[in-house]
Amino acid sequence: MLGWVLIFALLAIVAGFLGFFVLAAAAALVAKVLFVVFLALLVLSFVARALRGQSVV
């Protein structure tokens, strides 16, 4: 899943170099949204494991 973030970030960089500002902005937005979603899922999984008494590391 995190691979999608990297793909959209790379697409945003390439599109920015090529001058497709609308495409670059859209890809960057998707990358940012996916990053926040996966970061929230990571924190949620850490909290759930901690509440169950399991190691979070």
Reply yes or no on whether the pLDDT at 5 is more than 90.
Answer: no
CB of 6 closer than 8 Å to CB of 27: no
Say what the pTM is. 0.59
- The CA distance from 14 to 50, in Å, is 40
Residue pLDDT, tens place only, 27-53: 888 889 999 999 999 999 999 999 998
Q: Is 53 left (phi over 0), alpha (psi -120 to 50) or beta?
A: left
